[in-house]
């Protein structure tokens, strides 16, 4: 896709961010870290990728919802 998932998250710029689950970040480890820290607050999708931001707003909302639901309904994710 836009950014190979083989790149380390620290090597990416904000403009290379993808939807949750589509990039280099290990979402299971991230969710586990939030749970271990006791965090139970909101999470959000934040995109600065110009290619994704060029999509119609409704499509961005639909894709963001799908990605967030896919990632945050994993068994390891906090609910």
Answer yes or no: is pLDDT of 3 > 50: no
6, 10, 72, 52: CA torsion to nearest 10: -80
Q: Does some domain include residue 2?
A: no
Burial of 29 (0-12, 13-18, 19+ CB in 10 A): exposed
Radius of gyration of the chain (CA): 13
In a domain, 77, yes or no: no
pLDDT tens-place string over residues 41-70: 888 888 889 999 899 999 999 999 998 888
Instruction: Tell me if 49 is assigned to some domain.
Output: yes
Per-residue pLDDT at 2:
42
- Answer yes or no: is 29 within a domain: yes
Residue 7 domain flag: no
pLDDT at 79: 52
pLDDT at res. 73: 67
Residue span of the structural domain in which 24 resides: 14-72
Hey, which bits of the chain come out as E strands? none
Q: What is the pTM of this model?
A: 0.65
User: By the 8 A CB rule, do 2 and 18 touch?
Assistant: yes
DSSP state of 14: G
Say what the pLDDT of residue 12 is: 74
Mean pLDDT score across all residues of the chain: 79
């Amino acid at each position: 896709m836009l950014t190979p998932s083989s790149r380390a998250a620290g090597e990416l710029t904000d403009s290379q961010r993808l939807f949750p689950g589509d990039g280099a970040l290990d979402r299971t480890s991230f969710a586990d870290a939030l749970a271990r820290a006791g965090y139970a607050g909101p999470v959000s999708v934040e995109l600065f990728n110009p290619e994704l931001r060029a999509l119609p707003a409704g499509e961005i909302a639909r894709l963001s919802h799908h990605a967030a639901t896919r990632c945050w309904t994993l068994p390891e994710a906090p609910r």
